[in-house]
Chain A
């Protein structure tokens, strides 16, 4: 079945540091890929998405590129802020299923 693997956290960075959170997936066919973010005390929010190979999703300075050859969708940001502290979830959705399959989540802590 489908699965998503994320790097374990927590990831602790200083403000303005470069961020990478690794995500790889296993799926049949051509899934759509997503990054969701959960800020403290809030619900899950869609951060960005990509629907086909080589697409780049971007939002709020975050980027991720759909790499079919490496089955990856790594999240990057050039300069993190304290306000980026949250839990980040990588997810996929296959055409054959309506539900999202999530990774385990990666907690990011940004220190001033």
Chain B
């Protein structure tokens, strides 16, 4: 079946502009994660959604970052007033119902490479 998809695959923007990154999780997966992969910081957790529960936003680096998940499926990560340090690959992952089986596998998308000039 289809895996996690992300769009766009590449995004180049100017400093100060807003960007939106999209993630389509695997159908039926209730848990969705955003991570950021950058040269200086490695792979960092940003935000986690599980069903209708309040999202875990503990990894968001600043209030310029926000994310939504509509209808328990598609998610959008928005970065306002982008800065050069926001340049990174943004990865989305999804997993099946994330109850007590805390070792459920996370399936990753190919990522969106964001470059802020």
- Chain B: interface residue total (CB-CB under 8 A): 25
Q: Are B105 and A49 in contact (CB under 8 A)?
A: yes
Taking each of B35, B43, B44, B105, which has the highest tally of chain A beta carbons within 10 Å of its own beta carbon?
B43
Question: What is the bound-complex CA distance between A49 and B4, given in angstroms?
Answer: 20
Q: A-facing mask of B1-14, CB < 8 A → 1, else 0?
A: 00110000000000
Contacts of A95 in B (CB 8 A): 102
Q: Which of A42, A43, A46, A102 contacts B42 (CB 8 A)?
A: A102
Q: B98 contacts the other chain (Cβ, under 8 Å)?
A: yes
Q: Are A98 and B108 in contact (CB under 8 A)?
A: no
Question: What is the bound-complex CA distance between A59 and B98, given in angstroms?
Answer: 24
Q: Which of B31, B42, B102 contacts A32 (CB 8 A)?
A: B102
Question: What is the bound-complex CA distance between A101 and B109, given in angstroms?
Answer: 17
From residue B70, how far is it (CB to closest CB) to chain A in Å? 20
Taking each of A44, A49, A95, A102, which has the highest tally of chain B beta carbons within 10 Å of its own beta carbon?
A44
Q: Are A46 and B102 in contact (CB under 8 A)?
A: no
From residue B110, how far is it (CB to closest CB) to chain A in Å? 4
Q: Are A103 and B42 in contact (CB under 8 A)?
A: yes
Which residues of B, 86-112, contact A by the 8 Å Cβ criterion? 91, 93, 98, 102-103, 105-111
Contacts of B107 in A (CB 8 A): 46
A-side residues, CB < 8 A to B, are: 32, 36, 42-46, 49, 51, 89, 91, 93-95, 98-105
Q: List 12 A-B contacts (CB under 8 A).
A: A46-B107, A49-B105, A98-B33, A98-B48, A99-B33, A99-B45, A100-B33, A100-B43, A100-B106, A102-B42, A103-B42, A105-B43
